[in-house]
Chain A
């Protein structure tokens, strides 16, 4: 092991963390306990006041705690949140997907399974006869959405309750992915946002 002069390595921006010795005041310990309690009591009082005001329907914009009282209160979810997938639909209600297989190709966990089929309408080339996502294998990376060339799959649903008693039911079929979502977790109605098209 060569001898290195550690103090003079070529990095000259440095500060030392100061490590002051404990004074008598801190060594007695009790004044410091009181000072610590002062901080925690301050938090307690503030949070309790906010919670009490909430009871009377006041100061709703201030939060008493960072935790949410799920399921009564749902956490607001950001627009970019990658939730459960959904297949978008054309105006006539049929799937927009053209079974181009890009999402199946890019998926790092191989959890998408597509069986393409000729579309009954001769002006449309293909559509998926089967479109399945094994949500248990999915890692919610969002690459399928990024790969899709015709905005047929999106992850903007903000559905967070993805649970079941049966593994076979966690393979989501095309019909399920196309179904409208009502209530909490419903996707925004608008077209793809501007940042997405950039």
Chain B
């Protein structure tokens, strides 16, 4: 029996056992309480030990790339909201930065600061949801509820800034949908200490909690060279000890002016991932404070008439603005980047979110490809689960923070 199983990925050594155990095939998912998102994990177990596992993805496939090709450059942005729907603003910003790079548009300083600020707010929301959900799946329900409370505050801030909690649609090619509303900074200043308080509480409840640590420690470890081979990015790669963070390696927006550190783990197990995400939230809070402090006055939107819509007072008030508005909306007139291709990436909640776009000079993307950070993580599940127990599926899967929208696109 042992030899037969070795053909499969991640086959485990099985010792000859005294009591013959029957092998069993088990489906976890597609719709399982511990699977956040729709994904199917298939495992073969003997007793409690996993001898083979595989993942089936694609249940949430919506045709992101094809949909983008049928929409104008600005409208394609709404599909990026649905990629990582816990931190959609980072995707919005990433997409718009790519188009701006192709067109050579500069966003004013304040615009970049606001983008950074709101991205970091949504990164905290992303990590806190991921940690809360991972903790809930291994039984710490209280921590999950506290995390949701903090996420509610953060989503409130996001709603105040862009008009929706999840389908934010915040960025535009050449700027943002609008400047931050009045009093937003003050709200954020009162909210951040409370969020920090929740982070401290989660730390107290989980980090030295023996049940939690026993479930997480040493589970699903990925050594650094394997992590690089799989193509990991983000918190999971850093948990394995590889110092790669897009914000540091290729600083975009105003990240080169921010002071923050890149937390690193040692052996890349689930507990390291937890600690890295925890520390990253603290660093994000730090960046938020710095952004609020340094936030300059001025416009947030580029005055490039090729891309950004004219001010509404001009549209309502004079013919030039009105013409410009019509030119930007009409088919075959709107934003027309020069023919060419470009790639640009940002650090998303789960890692490097990259957009590769090709333009043929028309008003629609010829091709828009997204590099989802989740896919390399999910393809490593059979590797992480090798030689583990069936109970370890849940912490391993929880620590990946798989987001269906991003994985299946």
Binding site for B on A (CB under 8 A): 1, 4, 6-7, 9-11, 13-19, 22, 26-27, 29, 32, 35-36, 39-40, 43, 65-66, 78-82, 100, 102, 105-106, 108, 139-143, 146-147, 149-151, 155, 192, 195-198
Shortest A42–chain B CB gap in Å is 9
Kindly report which residue of chain B lies nearest to residue A82, judged by CB atoms: B163
B71 within 8 A of A: yes
Cβ contact within 8 Å between B208 and A32: yes
Shortest A110–chain B CB gap in Å is 10
Cβ contact within 8 Å between A106 and B178: no
- For B71, B169, B182, B272, the residue with the greatest tally of chain A CB atoms inside 10 Å of its CB is B169
| Interface size counted on chain B using CB atoms at 8 A | 68
Cβ contact within 8 Å between A149 and B315: yes
Give the complex CA separation of A13 and B278 in angstroms: 17
Minimum-distance CB pairs A-B, first 3: A17-B275, A108-B75, A80-B163
Interface residues of B in 155-202 (CB under 8 A from A): 159-164, 167, 169, 177-179, 181-182, 201
Shortest A129–chain B CB gap in Å is 22
Give the complex CA separation of A157 and B14 in angstroms: 64
Cβ contact within 8 Å between B181 and A195: yes
Give the complex CA separation of A47 and B272 in angstroms: 33
Stretch of B114-122, B242-250, B371-379 contacting A (4+ beta carbons < 8 Å): B242-250
Give the complex CA separation of A167 and B263 in angstroms: 51
Residues of B within 8 A of A4 (CB): 225, 228
Shortest B126–chain A CB gap in Å is 18
Cβ contact within 8 Å between B275 and A139: no
Give the complex CA separation of A144 and B220 in angstroms: 47
Secondary structure call for the A interface: loop
B24 within 8 A of A: no
Cβ contact within 8 Å between A196 and B178: yes
Give the complex CA separation of A14 and B330 in angstroms: 49
Known: A17-B276, A36-B205. A26 touches B262 (CB 8 A): no
Cβ contact within 8 Å between A66 and B149: yes
Residues of A within 8 A of B243 (CB): 6, 9, 11, 14
- For A32, A40, A108, A196, the residue with the greatest tally of chain B CB atoms inside 10 Å of its CB is A108
